Every structure is written in C-alpha cells, then in structure tokens.
Chain A
Amino acid sequence: MKNIKFPVILGAALLLATLFGAETFVVKVRSTTVRSGPKFFASTVMNLKAGDGLLLLKREADWLQVKTSNGQVGWIHSSAVEPRKIDILAWGKSTKNQATATEVAMAAKGFNKQVEDSYKARNKNISFVWVDKMALLTVSRAQLEAFLKQGRLGEFRGSK
C-alpha cells in the first residue's frame, strides 16, 4: 500500500489543481459589469476592472455565471474575461499569485503607453488629437438602452 501513497496524493492534487485552474477567470478589458442575468440590460451587480479575478459557476451560451472575490454572484459576457490557467511553478501559492497575459501586460510589459509615447516622439507629424477625442465618444448603457427601445431592437423587439 506504501508504494501507491505518493502517486495517489500527487496525482489527485495535480488533477484537482488543473480542474480548479480551469475554473478561474480574469477580466481582460479595462472595465466591465457583472449583471444580475445573462443579458446586457440586466441590472448591475458590481463593476470590475482589468485583472480582477472570478470563479466560474456555470455557462449559458456566451455568458458566464461567476462569483467575484467579495462573494457576489452574477453574469459576465465571455468576451470580457480570459481563463487563468494553472502554473505548476506557483504550486502551493494561492491563485492570486499567478498571472495571465493581461496581468503581465498590466505590469508594463507589451505595446503600452510607454511604446505609444516613444512612437509619438519619433513621428511628430502624426497627430493623436482626434484619436483622443474619438476615445471619448462613448455611449452609456442607459443611452444604448433608450436607442434600442426606440428602434424596437435587440431584447426590446416588438415593444412599443
């Protein structure tokens, strides 16, 4: 029986870790919302930012039911998150000590503001004035909802 103890414990631990790793997600967009149901215009449970971790509870088409780090449960669209995968070298540490590509990029790795500033310095003839103005052309959830309702579109189809 002694012979099988080590493989049993290690195998089970690795399998569990792999399974748990696949169930953890990280927000990859700058900001997003956890909603009360699997649709865009469901009420807000809480707002999240890039790098926030989530535990997957279940999937429904493109929506994931998740639990946030403070224990709140709600729905998030799959395009806002990426899976956090298991890291054997971080074995024994909590999943908070592991990082996704987004988290690594957030720690100033990748094409980032520093690279954009360097590009601007080398290309003074290229103006970013309208790019900055364009980035400010945003549509709030309330404005979008009103637009869809008025046009009888999306989940407001057929409404008067």
Chain B
Amino acid sequence: MSARRALALTLSAVVVSSLVISCSFLQDNKKYLTGDNLKKAEKVATVVRRTFADITEEEEYYIGRSVSALILSRYKVYENPALNSYVNLLGNAVAAYSDRPEIYGGYHFLVLDTAEINALAAPGGFVFISRGLLRECRDEEMLAAVLAHEVGHVASKHGLQSIQKSRLTDAFKLLGHEAVKAYAPAELSKLTEVFEGALGDIAGSLIERGYDRKFEYQADSLSVKFGLAAGYHPQGLSDFLSNLAAWEGKEKDKGWFKTHPAPKDRLARVEKQIGGVKTLPVRDSVRLNRFKQNFKG
C-alpha cells in the first residue's frame, strides 16, 4: 500500500468515525434539534428521551410545584415569617455549597405545622420541614444537617427517579412530537394524565413508601459533604440521628420513621464517614446563639 493510499484510507476512517459520532449525537440527543430539523431527524432517529435524567430543569420545576401542592394538601403551613426566613437562609447556605447550587427556580424551604417528625424534598428545590423535627434540633449544626440531607435528595434527583419508567416512556412519546406553541386539547388531556401519574409516583415515595434505602444513605452522605463544605460540623447529623433513635419505638409508623431506614443503621454509616474527615470545622457558638434567638417561644 502506498503512503498516499494509506493516508487516504486513514482520513476516510476519520470521516466515517465523525459521521458515526455525529449520528450517535442524533440518536441520543434528538432533543437538541430545532423545530425546523425535528421532522427530518425523526426519519433517521427514533430515540427522543429515555430516563429521568432527560427531564429538563423547567419540567422538574413544574413537577415539583405540583408535588408540593399535594404535600400541602396533607399538612398545614406553620405561618411564622421569622422562622421561615431563618430556615430559608440556612437551607440556601447549605445549598450554595452543594453539588447543585443552581436550580431552575432556586431553593425554597417551608415549615409545616405538625408534631410529626418529618422533612420532605419535592423535585425542583421545594423543601418542607415539620415543627416536630425542628423540636429535635438543639443547634444550627443539627438543623443544617437535616436541610443538607433534603438538598441531597434534590441534587441527586431522587424524586424524579421515583417516576415509573413506563410513565416516563408515555410522557416522552407524547412530548416527542414536533414542537408546538401550545398543546391541542386531546394531547394536553393525555399529557395531564401522565403528569398526574408521575406526581402520584413521587408523592407516594415521599409520604407513604419512602425512597429506596440506598437513596437515604446517599442523602446522609451528601449531608455530611455539603455541611462540611459550608463550614458546619458534621456531628450535627449524628446528634440528630441519636435523638431520633430515642423516638423510634413511639413513632414507628409516622413521618421519617415510616419512610426512612432505622436511625441506628444510618448513624453507624454517618459516624464511619465522619471518622474519615481529616479536619473538622469548629462548632461556633455564634451559630448556636442565633439558632436560640430564632427559636425563642
């Protein structure tokens, strides 16, 4: 083979590989096409969106709003502006040092008026925390740890992962049609049914069934990570879990006890993780003081 022929063959191979790469972009990312190109692309690529990871930020936001509405149909809001403001500052502080500080509509936190020990994170950054849980926190490190656990669920999109696969396939099939400015009534009706189903999947996991245990352990691990990055002592999480362990027998079928793994199992993992941290932050009294100030009365 002459050198020229070898070069031509090599370059042809480059061209073919480039085409293969570009076509595989088409297969996996038809979502990146414009309305103009979408029709053409449908002829050559059949795959649109497949998994929860293909749900856009804006879609996640709208799913989260409706999941929040479902949560708020079960629980009353604790209307205390000063406390809600403090919880929002603290929640946003840990979110800023999380793996997902930027989210479509920002993070929002709200206190629920219930004695049940519970915290819930809807997709899109809507986080709820009960008065019962707040009562179990003795300082800012403990509350920061709980909020960071919830931010961990949001950052890892655990809520979206609760949506049944078949439901996502149906949704993506409906959404895979050519871009339109508004849905036709029949299409909107079908899409709303799928949307309702997805909300049911998520709310069921959040309120009734709980997530897979591995998601809870992951959220604990992220709580330690985000808390440390923000400057909080991770002992806050183990202190909180120790408090929970004391309640376990009495509250077995309620709130966090119904939807989360046993506190002692979580505690063992968290303490192991903290044991591996080389430099721990100072548990500053300035934070304890402002915590007490915000929980007066």
Which residues of A are interface residues toward B (Cβ below 8 A)?
1, 3-4, 7-8, 10-11, 14-15, 18, 28-30, 32, 40, 50, 62, 77, 79-80, 84-90, 97-102, 104-116, 118-119, 122-123, 125-128, 130-131, 134-135, 137-139, 143-144, 147-148, 150-154, 157
Contacts and interface: CB of A to CB of B under 8 A. Distances in A.
Instruction: Name which of A102, A106, A151, A154 has the most chain B CB atoms within 10 A of its CB.
Output: A151
Interface residues of B, number: 87
Contacts of B62: 111-113, 115-116
A3 B109 CA distance: 65
Contact of A154 (B4, B96, B180): B96
B248 to A, nearest CB: 30
A36 B25 CA distance: 33
Contact of A137 (B84, B90, B99): B84
Contact of B12 (A7, A122, A151): A7
Given A18-B18, A116-B65, A100 B110 contact: no
A94 B183 CA distance: 29
B246 interface: no
Contacts of B32: 84-85, 87, 98-101, 104
6 contacts: A4-B11, A18-B22, A89-B40, A118-B188, A151-B93, A153-B93
Given A3-B8, A30-B105, A87 B69 contact: no
Contact of A122 (B90, B100, B196): B196
Contacts of B73: 125-127
Nearest to B73: A126
